[in-house]
């Protein structure tokens, strides 16, 4: 079996917009073996319930890798030309980076991800919350998070095709087509 050219798909949207469902549907309809890379940390009961729900809806044959910080390194370890990696979600990952005790962690990890993407083999689906459509956040950390997320999304959009925005469960293609 020959591998297709690497493909990068960026799916953005608000909370409960259908991002994860869209990404999982694309992965389910692929003939490629799927690795689901989860970035969430269980830090409270509400997050434990969310993660349990996500786990229950995924196909049992998907490989699941949980990595809250070292995304580029983990992608490199699991990528292969015939594979598909679904990363859910980049904004949880970014939160983990910004809360890390190392103040250089966020920039270092984002730079590593952006440097890796052009050469990463296989198909990659990236899911992230679009935070720039809401109210202006009040706190310094929240403003920094929104700024970082916006910059990351802009950089990823130049490297990905297609790029879509999910609204009410419907995809709006910002760049390219499926």
For 107-140, write each residue's pLDDT tens digit.
Answer: 999 999 999 999 999 999 999 999 878 777 789 9
Is residue 57 included in any domain, yes or no? Answer: yes
Is residue 131 included in any domain, yes or no? Answer: yes
pLDDT bin (cut points 50, 70, 90) of residue 62 is very high
> Does the pLDDT value for residue 3 go beyond 60?
no
Q: Would you please indicate which residues are annotated as catalytic (active-site) residues?
A: 54
Q: Specify the number of domains making up the chain.
A: 1
Task: Judge contact between 28 and 59, C-beta under 8 A.
Answer: yes
> Does the pLDDT value for residue 6 go beyond 80?
no
Whose structure tokens read 């694309």?
A: 26
Is residue 1 included in any domain, yes or no? Answer: no
Look up the domain containing 22 and give its range.
7-175
Task: Judge contact between 99 and 144, C-beta under 8 A.
Answer: no
Is residue 2 included in any domain, yes or no? Answer: no
Whose structure tokens read 């995304």?
A: 71
Q: What CATH number is associated with residue 56?
A: 3.40.50.300
Spatial separation of the C-alpha atoms in residues 9 and 154, rounded to whole Å = 13
Is residue 151 included in any domain, yes or no? Answer: yes
């Amino acid at each position: 079996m020959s591998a297709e050219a690497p493909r990068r798909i960026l799916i953005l949207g608000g909370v409960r917009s259908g991002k994860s469902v869209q990404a999982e549907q694309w992965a389910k309809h692929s003939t490629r073996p799927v690795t689901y890379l989860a970035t969430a940390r269980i830090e409270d009961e509400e997050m434990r319930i969310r993660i349990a729900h996500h786990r229950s809806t995924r196909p049992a044959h998907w490989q699941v890798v949980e990595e809250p910080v070292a995304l580029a390194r983990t992608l490199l370890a699991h990528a292969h030309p015939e594979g598909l990696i679904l990363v859910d979600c980049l904004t949880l990952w970014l939160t983990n980076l910004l809360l890390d005790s190392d103040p250089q962690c966020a920039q270092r990890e984002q730079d590593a991800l952006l440097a890796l993407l052009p050469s990463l083999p296989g198909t990659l689906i990236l899911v992230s919350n679009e935070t720039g459509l809401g109210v202006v956040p009040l706190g310094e950390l929240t403003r920094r998070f929104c700024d970082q997320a916006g910059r990351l999304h802009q950089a990823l959009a130049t490297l990905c095709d297609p790029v879509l925005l999910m609204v009410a469960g419907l995809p709006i293609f910002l760049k390219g087509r499926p």
